[in-house]
Amino acid sequence: MKGILFDLDGTLLDIDGEAFLERYLDALAPYLRPDMDPDAFRGKVMAAALPLITSDHLPGTVGDTFRAALAYRLELPAAEVADGQRRLDAALGDVVAIPHAPRTTARLCVDAALDAGMRCAVATTPIYRPAVIHRRLTWAGLADYPWALVTTSENMHSCKPSPGYFREAAAKLGLQPADCIMVGDDPYQDGPSDEAGMRFHLVQGEAGWAELLVELAAQRAPMWS
């Protein structure tokens, strides 16, 4: 293995991803359509996001595609949607905070992978802007790590569970999918990495992490010559 991709929500970070999305949308709505019913606003967002998860490779970034689609549904200029997102980025603070906790064994695995000289990526579903993902990495205690790649809405052209997402992530790491392993807690979202040619390692408990840690530790170069 030369590269390892870690999912974020539920993998590196103990958090309810669906609850976080709801909190984020509740925080975003006042910046775009404060006059709209919250449920209606969420419906518009979900409709705009549908093409993101059904395409193997979008013509533009995930963020550009989403903003154009959401602007159409909200009857707003795309630039106004982008401005609303940027203003929320600057005001995130604890407005999107929900219960969360770092995962100690996950961090040990990242340390072991880095010690083994592997290229490490945060392979989270790229529906959020960099500031939002950085916030969650901070909660995980991993924001200052030397990640070779953090997938965001602004640097990806596909989303999980499309195999194209994993191929694009590998290419950004400068690797072939066969040289990579995807580590995640969701067989539906992360499992299609094997269709892209990666190996998939499922972690849904300490046993999965312990198994991975042993394997990564074995990859470390000997400390003697």
Regions of the chain where pLDDT drops below 70: 221-225
CA distance 208 to 105: 10
CA distance 189 to 185: 9
Pick the CATH number of 3-16+100-219 from 3.50.50.60, 3.40.50.300, 3.30.470.10, 3.40.50.1000: 3.40.50.1000
| Per-residue pLDDT at 3 | 97
Q: Are strands 3-6 and 180-184 parallel, antiparallel or unpaired?
A: parallel
| Per-residue pLDDT at 221 | 55
CA distance 219 to 221: 6
Break the chain into its structural domains and give their ranges: 3-16+100-219, 17-90
CA dihedral 199, 204, 209, 215 (to 10 degrees): -30
| Per-residue pLDDT at 48 | 94
| Per-residue pLDDT at 224 | 42
**Quick one: which H or E segment has residue 5?**
strand 3-6
| Per-residue pLDDT at 222 | 55
* The dihedral sign for the CA sequence 172, 3, 114, 206: positive
| Per-residue pLDDT at 225 | 39
